[in-house]
Amino acid sequence: MLNSLISRRRLIATGSLASVGVALSRFAFGQTAQTGAKPTLSVVPAYLGVSPQTLPPLPYAENALEPTISARTVGIHYGKHHRAYFDNLHKLLAGTPLEQASLEQIIVQSHDQPTLADVFNNAAQAWNHNFYWNSLSPAVTAPSAKLQAAIERKFGSIEALSKALVATSASQFGSGWGWLVVDRGELAVVKTGNAETPFTADLAPLLTVDVWEHAYYLDYQNRRPDYLVATVSRHLNWAFASANFERV
Ligand SMILES: [Fe+2]
């Protein structure tokens, strides 16, 4: 379902800084989208409290996920790629009505707005990466009893869910993300392309894995499934997923 939603919502235009500035100056924050219904923030886990102005700290040391993900990969991924999305967003939003909005609000307001494609892409990538770092844990974690029961109802076991998450994430063509979400009360595994994020389709994210090549290429080269199997089996943060599940 999500893939069809995302394909319909694929952003096709890229605005220059100047055109984005003009677009934002005309954009009354909070207004209803001109094309179709806007997604809501009802499924967004706002606990992260992410400001569009500040790159949040990495929740662990750069070498904490070794040997699954090297300190070099995490250092470049967080310090260069993730930081760049925030830096780009600052430039795009400077002097616009969205400058003081939350990152989640910026994502919702810019989604499916062709003239705001750069804003959406950088804001959503900033948010997705915040979610990704928190979706991983150096320590072994376990789901809450409530989430464990939901996993067993839907997938049979946590191993079966992990297998589905790896398969779905590995099958993303090109850059994107694999997600465990809640879709209208049911757990589901979905994938999104490029910067797309599930909450714009009213799916509540519980966990994500990054399948952009920058997430794994230094360590695994073209072996994306190996990166996924190792990461999903060793480092998913089930405590984070459980907390998210409580808020759905
Ligand atoms: Fe990434």
pLDDT tens-place string over residues 48-69 = 556 777 899 999 999 999 999 9
- Nearest Cα to 208, choosing from 195, 217, 219, 221? 195
Encode pLDDT of 147-188 as tens digits. Answer: 999 999 999 999 999 999 999 999 999 999 999 999 999 999
Topology (CATH level 3) of domain 145-247: minor pseudopilin epsh fold (3.55.40)
Mean pLDDT of 118-145: 96
Ligand 1 centroid, distance to 228 Cα (angstroms): 14
Encode pLDDT of 100-116 as tens digits. Answer: 888 888 999 999 999 99
The answer on pLDDT for 44 being more than 70 is: no
pLDDT at 70: 98
Ligand 1 centroid, distance to 239 Cα (angstroms): 22
| Cis ω for the linkage preceding 205 (within 30 of 0) | no
Ligand 1 centroid, distance to 65 Cα (angstroms): 15
Ligand 1 centroid, distance to 147 Cα (angstroms): 26
Ligand 1 centroid, distance to 82 Cα (angstroms): 7
Q: Domain residues of the chain, as ranges?
A: 145-247
Tokens, residue 128: 């997705």
Q: Position 177: which residue type?
A: W
CA dihedral angle for residue 229, residue 230, residue 232, residue 235, rounded to 10 degrees: 180
Map tokens 């090549």 to a residue: 213
Asked whether 83 and 53 are in contact (CB, 8 A), the reply is no
Ligand 1 centroid, distance to 213 Cα (angstroms): 8
Encode pLDDT of 27-41 as tens digits. Answer: 333 332 233 445 555
Asked whether 129 and 60 are in contact (CB, 8 A), the reply is no
Ligand 1 centroid, distance to 185 Cα (angstroms): 28
Ligand 1 centroid, distance to 57 Cα (angstroms): 15
Mean pLDDT of 228-246: 96
Ligand 1 centroid, distance to 81 Cα (angstroms): 7
Asked whether 33 and 112 are in contact (CB, 8 A), the reply is yes
Asked whether 161 and 3 are in contact (CB, 8 A), the reply is no
Ligand 1 centroid, distance to 73 Cα (angstroms): 10
Tell me which DSSP letter residue 83 carries. H
Give 20 or 138, the one with higher predicted confidence: 138
Residue 84: band (very low, low, confident or very high) from pLDDT cuts 50, 70, 90: very high
Mean pLDDT of 209-222: 98
pLDDT at 192: 98
For residues 164 and 155, give the distance between their C-alpha atoms in angstroms, rounded to a whole number: 9
